[in-house]
Amino acid sequence: MLEHQQPFDSLLQGDGTGLASAPGIRMAWLSGWELLLLQSRSEAALQDALMSQMGLRLPTPRMTSSRDDCALLWLTPTEWLLASRTGEIEALRAALAPLLASCLAVATDMSDALAVCEVSGARCTEVLMSGCTLDLRADAFGPGRSARTGPADIPAVLWNPGEESQRIRCIVDRSHAAHLHEWLTDAAGLPRPLPALQ
């Protein structure tokens, strides 16, 4: 079995999470997030299952709902992404499976397939907007908002967790993480790490 690795182990600095910072912007790849993709044609059945297991309501379109260390992001009318730091995603997936078996619904653990990058600082929306068509300013993409988009042609889910101003999380496929890292580094004018000496 392959050992799980963070997407940029060779680039991590300091505390192992911060990748780069410059005046007005910071980029960090976040570890410890578990991600569960929920797909269902029966919103009512999924709502009942989520309420019974974790007391969490389905969010309205392009929004998130949160409880403790969990956030449920709306993706499409039949898809939601549960982001959690509780360490209990596999147990939740197993508990949801029998509840959803009769309603054409599925819960898929995507933790190893996706990576979470956090861009913060006064320039974060300016930099991200330079590569996508979404208006990410606070009055248009406020706390709790989420949306699918393609910064620099990279399929991504952007999420404003609302924990503090000027902070947006980008969730991408791990196969696109290196490309997103390179693009953000260039777009933000962030310093590149020096190559290791041989």
Q: Is 123 found in the same domain as 101?
A: no
Question: What pLDDT is attached to residue 10?
Answer: 43
pLDDT at 104: 82
Is residue 196 within 8 Å of residue 144, measured between CB atoms? no
What's the pLDDT at 193?
63
Domain count, the chain: 2
Which pTM was predicted? Answer: 0.85
Q: Rounded distance, CA 158 to CA 118, Å?
A: 10
So what's the pLDDT on residue 194? 47
Rg (CA), the chain: 17
pLDDT mean values, one per 10 residues, the chain (198 residues):
47 48 90 94 92 93 92 96 91 90 89 95 94 93 95 95 84 95 90 54
Whether 48 is covered by a domain: the verdict is: yes
- Coil vs helix vs strand at 1: coil
Amino acid 68: pLDDT: 84
Same domain, 28 and 119: yes
Listed in sequence order, the DSSP H helices in the chain are 43-54, 89-100, 124-129, 174-188
Q: How many CA atoms lie within 13 A of 171 on its CB side?
A: 24
- Dihedral angle sign, alpha carbons of residues 97, 42, 80, 176: positive
Predicted confidence at residue 162, as pLDDT, reads 85
Residue 149 pLDDT: 95
Q: Are residues 105 and 123 in the same domain?
A: no
Does residue 169 belong to any structural domain of this protein?
A: yes
* Dihedral pair phi/psi, residue 137, rounded to 5°: -65, 155
Q: Which structural domain, as residue segments, surrounds residue 143? A: 18-32+113-188
How far is it, in rounded angstroms, from Cα 166 to Cα 160?
A: 9
- Whether residue 105 sits in one domain with residue 38: yes
Domain limit, last residue, from 109, 134, 151: 109
CATH number of the domain bearing residue 38: 3.30.70.1520
Instruction: Based on the fold, state whether residues 23 and 121 are members of the same structural domain.
Output: yes
The pLDDT, as a whole number, for residue 129 is 95
Specify if 196 maps to a domain.
no
- Tell me if 66 is assigned to some domain: yes
Q: State which of 109, 129, 154 marks the end of a domain.
A: 109
Q: 99 lies in a domain? A: yes
Same domain as 26, residue 65: no
Domain boundary among 91, 109, 127: 109
The per-residue pLDDT for 2 is 45
pLDDT for residue 164: 66
Residues 129 and 148 occupy one common structural domain: yes
Determine the pLDDT at residue 143.
93
The enclosing domain of 162 has a CATH number of 3.30.1360.120
Whether residue 164 is contained in a domain is answered as yes
